[in-house]
Amino acid sequence: MLAEEVVATELIPPFDNTAVDGFAVRSADVASASPATPVELEVVATVAAGAVADRPIGAGQAIRIMTGAPIPPGADAVVMVEDTSSSDGGARVAVTAAVAPGAAVRPAGDDVRPGTVVFRVGEELSAAHLGVLRSLGRSEVLVHPRPRVGVVSTGDELVEGPAPLGPGQIRDSNRATLLALVAAAGCEAIDLGLQPDVEATIAAAFEDGARRCDALLSSGGVSMGDFDYVKRVLDRVGEMNWMQVAIKPAKPLAFGHVGGVPCFGLPGNPVSSMVSFELFARPGLRRLGGHPDDRLVRRPVRAVAPDGLRRTLDGKTHFQRVVADYDHAQAAYVVRSAGGQGSHHLAAMAAANALAVVPDGGGVEPGGLVDVLLLR
Ligand code: AMP
Ligand code: MG
């Protein structure tokens, strides 16, 4: 993420050059050229990319020229090699097509001129941005580094790997999910491991994370259970706010600081942790990464729900997992439920590409409109 304005100090391209392999000519000389009436010119030199013609061209003359080579003085256009045929061992060329002045010439500064603001603060440096910077001779610019974000899973029931599950055990899915979401949000994801429900080890994991990371994410242990040690630990080693948000899924949420480092305590249920990340952690992490204010959250788009989206009144806004497709005939997004809407229905989350924001009430009628957040 760019943290300084970049002003061009050079021309791109730096000189008038040819866009094609062919012959630099005076366009007036070949004005009458056609396949039936070729115009013969004398070839007085060859100029490759990286070289400079050692002489200008005069009337009736041409210079053989390769893509990227400077336009020789006197020439005002280039005829591409496909519209020519050479003779006399290359000393002469017959041009079979007329060219307008400036044809196949890339003028100096055509792309970028000195004094132009090429990039602004808060622009994400894409591959093309890096190319422009290199074209301008810039190998260093001021950027916001990617925030380093530590991810920890907590829970005695969780295990890692393919070994058969013991009674009551499940596999830790949230860590892989959250590490991937962190990376997709433009951050560097740091794996802080899977911690059992033991206060001392949870505390050590957070304290270690606070030393190594710019932000921390945990999942699990933030709700009302007897073994929600994350709560106890974070109250001891950090300053946290414990919240209940009027949304479904992802009601419990904690946010605060551990060792001065922002820390999100996300709910443990797999879909809840993902929705909570999307709504609360992602905007915060993007701010940390220097994204401008108007690009922290996804803007909802309006979509049609042909089958409706069912729900009941419960005082909460629901974020339903849906598949959104752009329907060209209707010029609108069309959404359908992606499957089970329970906070453990991770497969439906994987099938979804959007969250429909269904306000409190009886849901969306078939054919009704709904706001959706397009996740990818
Ligand atoms: P908790 O918030 O710790 O009470 O967890 C709520 C639910 O999420 C429980 O069913 C947990 O087993 C489940 N859960 C918590 N952490 C994870 C995780 N890392 N991967 C998969 N499920 C989890
Ligand atoms: Mg737990």
Q: Which domains does the chain show, CATH number per domain?
A: 1-14+112-143 (3.90.105.10), 17-106 (2.170.190.11), 148-295 (3.40.980.10), 301-374 (2.40.340.10)
Ligand 2 center to 269 CA (angstroms): 9
Indicate whether 304 pLDDT > 80.
Answer: yes
Q: Strand order of the sheet with strand 215-219? A: 188-195, 148-154, 215-219, 261-266, 252-258, 238-244
Query: Region 298-308: what's the mean pLDDT?
Result: 97
Class of residue 282 by CB neighbours under 10 A (exposed 0-12, middle 13-18, buried 19+) = buried
Contact 180, 226 (CB under 8 A): no
**Per-residue model confidence as pLDDT tens digits over 334-366:** 999 999 999 999 999 999 999 999 999 999 999
Query: Can you tell me the distance from the alpha carbon of 213 to that of 5, in angstroms, rounded to the nearest whole number?
Result: 27
For the chain, give the mean pLDDT.
96
Ligand 2 center to 243 CA (angstroms): 17
pLDDT tier at 52, thresholds 50, 70, 90: very high
pLDDT, position 157: 96
pLDDT, position 225: 80
Q: Which ligand is nearest to the CA of 170?
A: 1
Q: Which ligand is nearest to the CA of 254?
A: 1
Q: Shortest CA distance to 24 belongs to which of 32, 34, 67?
A: 67
Q: Whose CA is nearest to atom 5 of ligand 1?
A: 268
Query: Can you tell me the distance from the alpha carbon of 182 to that of 184, in angstroms, rounded to the nearest whole number?
Result: 5
pLDDT, position 24: 98
pLDDT, position 330: 93
**Per-residue model confidence as pLDDT tens digits over 145-201:** 999 999 999 999 999 999 999 999 999 999 999 999 999 999 999 999 999 999 999
DSSP state of 359: -
Ligand 2 center to 19 CA (angstroms): 64
pLDDT > 70: percent of the chain: 100
| Structure token pair of residue 123 | 């622009």
Looking at the CA of residue 272, tell me the nearest atom of ligand 1.
Answer: 8
Q: Whose CA is nearest to atom 23 of ligand 1?
A: 268
Ligand 1 center to 172 CA (angstroms): 8
Look up tokens 């329907």; give the residue: 327
Ligand 2 center to 155 CA (angstroms): 4
Write out residues with Cβ below 6 Å of ligand 1: 153, 155, 157-158, 170, 172-175, 219-223, 225, 267-270
Give the relative orientation of helices 199-212 and 229-237 as an angle to the nearest 10 degrees. Answer: 50
Contact 236, 258 (CB under 8 A): no
Looking at the CA of residue 219, tell me the nearest atom of ligand 1.
Answer: 16
pLDDT, position 154: 93
Ligand 1 center to 195 CA (angstroms): 12
**Per-residue model confidence as pLDDT tens digits over 13-43:** 999 999 999 999 999 999 999 999 999 999 9
Looking at the CA of residue 230, tell me the nearest atom of ligand 1.
Answer: 3
Query: Can you tell me the distance from the alpha carbon of 351 to that of 322, in angstroms, rounded to the nearest whole number?
Result: 8
Indicate whether 314 pLDDT > 80.
Answer: yes
Sequence letter at residue 251: K
Ligand 2 center to 195 CA (angstroms): 10
pLDDT, position 155: 93
Indicate whether 228 pLDDT > 90.
Answer: no
pLDDT, position 227: 81
Angle at 280 between CA 297 and CA 288, to 5 degrees: 70
Looking at the CA of residue 153, tell me the nearest atom of ligand 1.
Answer: 19
Q: Whose CA is nearest to atom 16 of ligand 1?
A: 268
Contacts of residue 347, defined as CB under 8 A and 6 or more positions apart, other chains included, come to 339, 340
Ligand 2 center to 227 CA (angstroms): 7
pLDDT, position 222: 84
- Looking at the whole model, is its pTM more than 0.95? no
Q: Tell me which H or E stretch contains 275.
A: helix 270-276
pLDDT, position 223: 79
| Structure token pair of residue 219 | 């999942």
| Structure token pair of residue 140 | 């260093």
Contacts of residue 179, defined as CB under 8 A and 6 or more positions apart, other chains included, come to 151, 189, 191
pLDDT, position 224: 77
Query: Can you tell me the distance from the alpha carbon of 91 to that of 62, in angstroms, rounded to the nearest whole number?
Result: 10
DSSP state of 12: B
Q: Whose CA is nearest to atom 10 of ligand 1?
A: 269
**Per-residue model confidence as pLDDT tens digits over 240-286:** 999 999 999 999 999 999 999 999 999 999 999 999 999 999 999 99
Beta bridge partners of 323: 336
Look up tokens 């020439």; give the residue: 75
Distances (CA, A) of 69 to 75, 91, 108: 13, 20, 12
Query: Can you tell me the distance from the alpha carbon of 61 to that of 77, in angstroms, rounded to the nearest whole number?
Result: 12
Ligand 2 center to 154 CA (angstroms): 6
Looking at the CA of residue 175, tell me the nearest atom of ligand 1.
Answer: 19
**Per-residue model confidence as pLDDT tens digits over 105-150:** 999 999 999 999 999 999 999 999 999 999 999 999 999 999 999 9
By most ligand atoms within 8 Å of CB, the mutation choice from 159, 160, 165, 174 for ligand 1 is: 174
Looking at the CA of residue 222, tell me the nearest atom of ligand 1.
Answer: 2
